[in-house]
Amino acid sequence: MSDTIIHLDKKRPLNLRWLLLMAWRDSRRNRGKLALFISSIVLGIAALVAINSFSNNLRTDIDKQAKSLIGADLVVATSKEIEPPMQKLLDSLAFGGDRSDEVRFVSMVYFQASQGTRLVQVRALEKGGFPYYGAIESVPESASRAFREEGRKALVDHTLLLQYNTKPGDSIKVGNVTFEIAGALHKIPGQSAMTATIAPAVYIPRRYLDETGLLQRGSRISYYHYYKLPDTTDPDKLAKKLEPRFEEAGFGFDTVNSRKEGTGKAYEDLASFLALVGFVALLLGCVGVASAVHVYIREKLATIGVLRCLGVSGKQAFLIYLFQVMAMGLIGSIVGAILGSLIQLYLPELFKAFLPVEVTVSVSWLAILEGIAIGLVVAVLFALLPLLSIRNVSPLITLRAGVEHLTNQKDKVRWLVYFVILAFIFVFAYFQLNSWLRALSFTGGVIVAFLVLALLARAMMWFVKKFFPVNWGYVWRQSLANLYRPNNQTLLLTVSIGLGTALISTLFLMQRLLLSEVAIAGSENQPNLVLFDIQSAQKEEVAQVTREAGLPVLQYVPVVTMRLEEMKGLTAADVRKDTTLGIPDWAYTREYRVTYRDSLIGSEKEVDGKWQGTVTDPDAPVPISLEDRYAERLKVGVGDTMIFNVQGALVPTVVSHLREVEWNRVQSNFLVVFPKGVLEEAPQFHVLMTRTDSTAQSAAFQRSLVQRFPNVSAIDLDLILQTLDDILGKISFVIRFMALFSISTGLLVLIGSVNISKFQRVQESVLLRTLGASRKQILSINAFEYLLLGALAAGTGVILSVGASWALAVFSFEVDFVPDFAPLLPVFLGITSLTVAIGMLNSRGILNRPPLEVLRGEA
Amino acid sequence: MSVILDIKDLEKTYYSGNHPLTVLQGINFSLQAGDTCAIVGPSGSGKTTLLGLCAGLDRASSGSVILNGIKLDNLSEDERAQVRNQYVGFIFQNFQLIPTLTAIENVMVPLELRGERNVHNQAMELLARVGLAERFDHYPTQLSGGEQQRVSLARAFSNKPTILFADEPTGNLDEETGQKVEKLLFDLNREAGTTLVLVTHDLELAEKTDRIIRIKGGTVVSDQITSSVGNVQE
């Protein structure tokens, strides 16, 4: 018989039905454990589903409320005087439809009831149909129409009325005209609560605008034209057709669609960022899944060995556990999606201040399906790393337990899985960020963070092993030895806690950094009240009034507004045509506020070229000074030419000097400074800076000023900083809310990891207790181990966050990196203590188990 | 009678770094259908390694293993798994029941793996044969050591193997339970006409087989027919 060799029939069915049955049977006794693994992805999915559901609802709502975003079919705006040919064009557009005009500018107003003054955005609206869609919401409701039809009436932002203890029926003085307040303004089409906070509006009828006396030469005024077009006219096609003429004339325009895109995009940038924060939480959770599955599979080795003995192929064994992970991934994702859908109920409240539309709350099936699919794919991908080793489990393990039967180091499929994971992260990031480069940076950042933390954990294990302090006491030695024992949690805990710490520290650092950018450097003797729009004729008088009020004139500078016409021979059209030049469009579209003087001021430092304070040759191009970073962005240097359009007159200049400007010093700082002897006769206004000692003094001075010079506006910097702080507070709250998901996931992973290693710890502790160790000693061993792990992970996370904040500051926000390290210590201490606390809380059961019970259980 | 297991010039060498360690060499023997054979030897003599090679759990460094006419040497691990499922049964010292499956599910695994349907009755019959029909839905942790080994016996015979490998089948049992399990093992083996190879330290158990192969230091030191089949032959 032995001479007759039978060949094996190699076609063997996979028996999928049985594999599914086995997966289900095998999971019955492990569901609690499996649920714990999967819980780590729940929060990540919840974050993604919440944000994406909210984004989808917002998109739908923007679509639904699109027309009310601008209140018209087409809006044309300009801050220039309208010339006759353009006026003709603007008039012709209204043919067959309707048009409402509005003039906007900022000015001081005076509340007679409370005798308070405030800088507001004045909107002088003509009698007409605006808004054609949506409504100007007011209380009483009729006030939004009444103010423009019934004499000298105004509509005032409701927050202003509250602040100045004023009510409808009281009076408000705008320039030289006193208006009766018709009602409280609650909502303007397309304006968010945040915009209203920054620039609260006061509507007045346009026919009284001239009487206010606020329209003077050099004033910064914008003209808005709202059109209701005939039904047969497509606003987008019309706007597209007129675009070249509008651009040439320096007009901006908005259609329902363009505003819709703009509104959606502005929010989507924030949503993408938040979704990425959620995704980081998910990745963190997946690290937990991978680690938990790794431990799970180690516990399953004996079972897998038996199955292999009984004839189960490597592929079949692998599939049994893959099915379990898929089922748990699916359940985790579904739970996450449900949680996310619940969280999104709260998001409209969270984002209310930023949004120009009312967001309805409804279940977004798309976001839910997306979230479930992403959760399933990511959980399976990460679980694949330990799962793959199942294929290599030898049946010999049944005969020789305790021998290493996993040989996955040379498994090429593992590299494929690594590649697919990275590709998935990259593709996900791309869809969120819409930029290959940013997606690459995000993926690179994730890899670097993971690698740094993993390498550090390994380095620590190596270091402790290599330089083991043999002379230390037993408790310390045992704790240190635990860091590198088989099945240790060092790598997992360092990566998960480290990433969570890095994320939260980065958020803290960036918030502080951005706030410090706008904060006043040193409050003593720094100006806190800025008066602007002072006409040349009023210059002396205003200075005198200021001094009479006992206030110092700290700075008094002229400001001339102008636009850039040409740079190094390139016009706006040239730059738009050749994008390779890398010159930003805004260089030509923005309005420059320029001053002229003969010397540098305290906040400026020479960088390059030669400062020339006065023009010597009136026929030569004017030698000007540019702020160095501005010059860098415009790609101009010393010797390059620029032509400015000073309200109609073209002024050729040459860059002769570059300055570094300390922007966070309260000074009137400028991108462009002209020498004396050129702009003196140009239309201009003046800015005066002073310092008041109290809010009362500031209010009293503003009151007297507004009464004498209605056109002069005052900015209370303390109020601005307060508003800014409030806005940043709201934004940072949103970001922290999302970061909470990462931190919570980190904690879940931590709890999971501690639980997974609990059985091993019970065995060790019981053995130690059997050998005579006291409760205190065992407690100390565990506490010190967690302290080392927590401190190392949190410390690395904090260091990583400094790197990440530097990159964000320099490349994304383009600000100097001057970090405030103060919040890092509490973060470090907090997370380290939390690690120890959770570790000890989970270990408490260990000490309560009688040694005999465990030893018998083992036998 | 047909040859069920044919071992020729079997050698197994492990490498620790660059240092070879030969644990088995020059092993030759064959077993006919229905034979019972015990492999005995001191700890570390290589008997478990030999069992693993014979059962297709491991691959030899040289020599050949032909099981039921199938040459195992060049088969992949998955192909050897298929051979095990079709022709081999196992009994382990520590029972090796799958802890997450009930007694009956453990018995059904080899049958279900073959794609057979409606195997519940077959499995119940086997459990009844080992006296555990009442405990069919108990998990291994709910059974005593002797009961677990009886479930293991039922599982080993469930796929009607042509050869059964037993590794110290009574090593983890007390004497009384061990004897009951031994009796059951031999009875079932006789009824099914299965070839039995068992590895044991227990010479009393070994002598109940037809043949005893003694190994020491990785080589066969004696191969004798036992008194249980009449005259002892060396």
Q: Could you tell me which residues come within 8 angstroms of residue A578 by beta carbon, excluding any fewer than 6 positions away? A: none
- On the question of pLDDT at B74 being above 80, the answer is yes
What is the H or E stretch that residue A204 is in? Answer: strand A201-205
Residue B81: alpha-carbon gap to chain centroid: 15
**pLDDT, position A522:** 42
Do residue A756 and residue A790 come from a single domain?
yes
- Counting the structural domains of chain A, the total is 4
Coil, helix or strand at residue A221? strand
Class of domain B32-49+85-229: alpha beta
Residue A407 banded pLDDT, cuts 50, 70, 90: very low
> Residue B52: which of A8, A312, A399 has the nearest Cβ?
A399
The pLDDT-based confidence of A218 (bands split at 50, 70, 90) is: low
**Chain B CB contacts of A400 below 8 Å:** 48
Do B128 and B157 touch, CB atoms closer than 8 A? no
Q: How many other CB atoms sit within 10 Å of the CB of residue A5? A: 11
Cβ distance A13 to B78 less than 8 Å, yes or no, reads no
pLDDT, residue B124, reads 94
Lowest mean pLDDT among A178-182, A302-306, A767-771, B56-60: A767-771
**Average of pLDDT values for A45-70?**
83
CB of A37 within 8 A of CB of A751? no
Q: Mean pLDDT over residues A586-615, rounded?
A: 86
B58 three-class SS: coil
What is the average per-residue pLDDT within A412-441?
86
Please check the confidence at residue A405 and state whether its pLDDT lies above 80: no
Alpha-carbon distance of A643 to A672, in angstroms, equals: 12
Band (pLDDT 50/70/90 cuts) for residue A514 is low
Q: What is the DSSP string of A530-552?
A: EEEEEEGGGHHHHHHHHHHTT--
- What DSSP assignment string belongs to B113-164? HTT----HHHHHHHHHHTT-GGGTT--GGGS-HHHHHHHHHHHHHHT--SEE
User: Are both A92 and A190 inside the same structural domain?
Assistant: yes
Q: Which residue of B has its CA nearest to A312?
A: B81
With beta carbons less than 8 A apart as the criterion, state whether A478 and A706 touch.
no
Closest CA to B29 of B59, B63, B76: B63
CA distance A552 to A339: 59
On the question of pLDDT at A368 being above 90, the answer is: yes
As a whole number of angstroms, the distance between CA B201 and CA A770 comes to: 32
A429 and A458 in a single domain? The answer is no
- Residues A465-478 have pLDDT tens digits of 888 888 888 888 88
Q: Which of A545-549, A574-578, A729-733, A849-853 has the lowest mean pLDDT?
A: A849-853
Same domain membership, residue A147 and residue A88 = yes
Query: Three-state DSSP class for A173?
Result: strand
Report, as an integer, the average pLDDT of B4-11.
94
Around Cβ B115, how many Cβ atoms within 10 Å? Answer: 12
The Cα A798–Cα A821 span in angstroms is 10
Highest mean pLDDT among A35-39, A402-406, A787-791: A787-791
What pLDDT is attached to residue A739?
67
Place of tokens 């021979």: A569
**Could you give the CA distance from residue A191 to residue A367 in angstroms, rounded to a whole number?**
27
Residue A662 makes CB contacts below 8 A (sequence gap 6+) with A521, A603, A604, A605, A669
A395 and A314 in a common domain: yes
In a shared domain, residues A556 and A698:
yes
Chain centre distance of CA A414:
35
**Residue with the larger pLDDT of the pair B41 and A257:** B41
- Residue B231: its pLDDT value, please? 41
Average pLDDT of span B89-106: 91
Specify the residue for token string 């050998």: A771
Which residues partner with A106 through β-bridges?
A: A121
Which residues have CB under 8 Å from A395's CB, separation 6+?
A305, A308, A309, B57, B77, B81, B84
pLDDT at A576: 79
Q: Which residues pair with A102 in a beta bridge?
A: A125, A224
Distance, in angstroms, between A33 CA and closest chain B CA? Answer: 13
Question: B105, A25: Cβ pair inside 8 Å?
Answer: yes
DSSP assignment, residue A219?
-
CA–CA dist A245, A254 (Å, integer) = 14
Q: Which domain holds residue A187?
A: 74-232
Give the predicted TM-score (pTM) of the model. Answer: 0.71
| Residue A530 pLDDT level (bands cut at 50, 70, 90) | confident
CA–CA distances in Å: residue B188 to residues A598, B83, B84, B158, B185: 112, 21, 19, 11, 5
Give the whole-number percent of chain A exceeding pLDDT 70: 87
In a domain, A310, yes or no: yes
Q: What is the mean pLDDT of residues A453-458?
A: 85
Chains A & B: contacts with CB separation below 8 Å: 113
DSSP H stretches of helix in chain B: 47-54, 77-87, 103-113, 120-129, 145-158, 175-192, 203-206
Q: Best mutation site among B47, B80, B100 for testing chain A: the one with the most A CBs within 10 Å?
A: B100
User: 């791309």: which residue's tokens?
Assistant: A430
Contact B7, B37 (CB under 8 A): no
Query: Within this chain, do residues A293 and A370 fall inside the same structural domain, yes or no?
Result: yes
The verdict on A101 and A46 lying in the same domain is no
Cross-chain Cβ contact A29/B77 below 8 Å: no
The mean per-residue pLDDT over the stretch A574-586 comes to: 81
Q: What is the mean pLDDT of residues B225-231?
A: 61
B82 to chain A: which residues are within 8 Å by CB?
8, 12, 311, 313
What is the rounded distance in angstroms from the CA atom of residue B164 to the CA atom of residue A813? Answer: 73
Q: What burial class does residue A648 get, using C-beta atoms within 10 Å of its C-beta: 0-12 exposed, 13-18 middle, 19+ buried?
A: exposed
Domain boundary among A434, A461, A479: A434
What is the amino acid identity at position A371? G
pLDDT at position A554 is 85
- Report domain extents, chain B: 32-49+85-229
Residue A76: pLDDT over 70: yes
Instruction: Please tell me the predicted confidence (pLDDT) of residue A8.
Output: 66
Q: Please say if the pLDDT value at position A21 is more than 70.
A: yes
Q: Across the interface, do A306 and B78 touch by the CB < 8 Å criterion?
A: no
**What does the pLDDT average to over A469-492?**
79
pLDDT at residue B232 greater than cutoff 60: no
A25, β-bridge pairs:
none
Last residue of a domain, which of A664, A695, A719?
A: A719
Question: What are the respective helix, strand and coil percentages of chain A, to the nearest 5?
Answer: 55, 15, 25
Same domain, A734 and A844: yes
* Contact criterion met (CB below 8 Å) for A646 and A622: no
Confirm or reject contact between B28 and chain A (CB < 8 A): no
In the numeric block, the tokens 């069992």 are attached to B51
Residue of A526 and A310 predicted with greater confidence: A310
Give the gap in angstroms from C-alpha B106 to the nearest C-alpha of chain A.
10
CB atoms < 10 A from the CB of A594, how many?
22
Tokens of A800: 């990583």
Of all residues in chain B, the one with the smallest CA distance to A305 is B96
How far apart are the CA of A846 and the nearest CA of chain B, in angstroms? 22
Rounded to 5°, angle at Cα A547 from A546 and A550: 100
Q: What value does the mean pLDDT of chain A take? A: 82
Does A500 lie in the same domain as A547?
no
Q: Are residues A533 and A662 in the same domain?
A: yes
- Interchain proximity B85–A25, CB inside 8 Å: no
Confidence of residue A622 (pLDDT cuts 50, 70, 90): very high
Residues in chain A, total: 859
- DSSP character string of A458-496: HHHHHHHHHT--TTS-HHHHHHHHHTTSTT--HHHHHHH
Q: Cβ contact (<8 Å) for A315 and B139? A: no
Work out the minimum CA distance from B53 to partner chain A, whole angstroms: 10
Residue A496 has pLDDT above 80, yes or no: no
Task: Kindly state the average pLDDT of the residues B51-57.
Answer: 91
Q: Is A767 exposed, middle or buried (0-12, 13-18, 19+ CB in 10 A)?
A: middle
Subunit contact B58:A4, Cβ cutoff 8 A: no
Please confirm whether the linkage preceding A131 is cis (ω < 30° from 0): yes
Task: For chain B, give the number of residues.
Answer: 234
Asked if the structure places residue A81 within a domain, the reply is yes
Average pLDDT over residues A479-499: 78
User: What are residue A689's DSSP bridge partners?
Assistant: A530, A555
pLDDT-derived band at B150 (thresholds 50, 70, 90) equals very high
Better pLDDT: A277 or A369: A369
Is the predicted pLDDT of residue A193 greater than 70, yes or no? no
Taking any CB pair shorter than 8 Å as contact, residues of chain A touching chain B are: 1-2, 4-8, 10, 12-13, 15, 18, 21-22, 25-30, 302-303, 305-316, 394-396, 398-401
pLDDT-based confidence at B54, cuts 50/70/90?
A: very high
Put simply, the answer to whether B69 touches A6 (Cβ < 8 Å) is yes
Note whether A61 and A89 are same-domain residues. Answer: no
Does some domain include residue A590?
yes
Which of A406, A434, A462 is at the close of a domain?
A: A434
B73 C-beta neighbours (distance < 10 Å), count = 16
pLDDT over 90 (residue A335): yes
Residues near B100 by Cβ (< 8 Å), separated by ≥ 6?
A25, A26, A27, A28, A29, A30, A303, B139
Confidence check: pLDDT of A563 > 70: yes
- Residue B217, chain A, CB below 8 Å: the answer is no
A657: Cβ–Cβ under 8 A, 6 or more apart, which residues?
A606, A608, A609, A610, A611, A612, A623, A624, A625, A626, A638
Specify the higher pLDDT residue, B227 or B86. B86
Closest CA to A701 of A844, A530, A584: A530
pLDDT higher than threshold 90 for residue A408: no
CB B99 within 8 A of CB A25: no
User: Given a cut of 50, is residue A552 above it in pLDDT?
Assistant: yes
Q: How far apart are CA B174 and CA A413, in angstroms?
A: 47
Chain-centre distance for alpha carbon A151: 46
Comparing A6-15, B155-164, B207-216, which segment has the lowest mean pLDDT? A6-15
